[in-house]
Structure 1
Amino acid sequence: MLSRIAARSLKDAKPCLALIRPTHTTPVNKAEERDEANFPRPVRQIEPSKVRMGFIPEEWFQLFYKKTGVTGPYVFGAGLSTFLLSKEIYVMEHEFYTGLSILIMVVYAIKKFGPSIAASLDKGVDEIEGDWMKYRNDTVQNLKQAIEDEKKAQWQAEGQSVLFDAKKENVALQLEAAYRERLNTVYKEVKQRLDYQLETANVKNRVEHKHMVNWIIDGVRSSITPAQESAALKQCIADLKNLSKA
């Protein structure tokens, strides 16, 4: 039954244009858009606002001064009280005097115990505020230290690239030293082999030369007769005598 009524109402209803307010899903940084000059951030009031007669705010009197002058607030208060009392709109029955008595006791208690209670409450507020300020300062210091650590880590990361380059250069120098050492080893081995060949050739030449000299000497000795040897010896003796005389 209800479905039929709903369908009939939708059928008889006239088409209407629905306006949908678009929503923004992109977050907005309100801190950057805030006008700090014209709309400063609220600051917690340390001392209470100034009052007159113990309970009437000073702003009320300032509001009347622009229209009625200095006596306006007092005349308005006295006239309003007289009107309410004279017309018995506000009736002063026994509860009025009870309230007046309670008001006197409250005023006395405020004057007597108000400063000590206010000092105690202010001390508690200062302690809470001090704890929050300490937490805030510690958080700021931790964040600053984290920023410094991050900068140091970035500086160390930059130094790692320099260290890698130095290590690469060191490895290249070690490879160059090993290459030169192997070249020197090859040079020494080749020189030793060449020196061996040269020494072998020199020994062969010396042996051949000695053998040739011995063969020539033996040949010469074998060709000399005893008579030639005796004549040569006599000639040598004669030459020595001539030399001694000269």
Structure 2
Amino acid sequence: MSICQGVPLPTETEASKSMFDACNKEWSAPELLPAAPKDFKEHPDRDLTNYPYPSRPMYPPKTRLLMMPDSWFTAFQKVTGTSGPYLFFGGLFAFLVNKELKPYIFPDKIDAGLYKDYQDRVGFFKGLIQEDLKEAVEFRKTSAQQTESLNALKESLPTSFKESMQLQLEAADRKKNIQNISGEIKRRIDRLEETEGAKARFERDQLLKLINESVEKQVSQKDFQEKFLQNAIQQLKGIAV
């Protein structure tokens, strides 16, 4: 009750104000910074009388019936009084409705144009959202593909491990067999070399023995000794001459 009557409360220094007190009143921001001088000019040729600096009000101009400017009512109000403008606009609206002239006031083209502008604006904001979520969508697709690959890998992983182990065992067996075969072949080659070497040495010893026996037999003969002595005497005579 004290708020409606504008009586301050015991803990207040000023009376409380209603939020409707500022309706239809021009608002100006508090001067937080020093105001510019009235004769301030950004250029000496600026005409402040005919072209003053524009000021933007905080609230829109006063309206009536939520959408009609107050200036429209003021012109009628001077002639017809307070109720005249309301009767005029109400009668005009009733006349248009009675004559079914509403479609001509708001044609389908205007409706389609407004709807198109609305769709374009919505599409613009959707494009911004999609652009912001582009990386998230790409990450989601990549994550889904990686998840599918991982699931497929999990299913085939035991089989892959088993096949890999079998291949490793088979490779080890083949390596062992190759080593055994190569060792056996080397052993046979070495044995063959030893056999051929022993055979060659035996043949050489037998051939030398046969040659020595033949030479000894020839030397032991008397004719060979005489021929050898005569040949030696001839060579000595040649040396003496």
**Greater fraction helix:** 1
Q: State the TM-score, normalized to the length of structure 2.
A: 0.31
Q: State the TM-score, normalized to the length of structure 1.
A: 0.30
Q: Which has the higher contact order (CA 8 A, sep 6+)?
A: 2
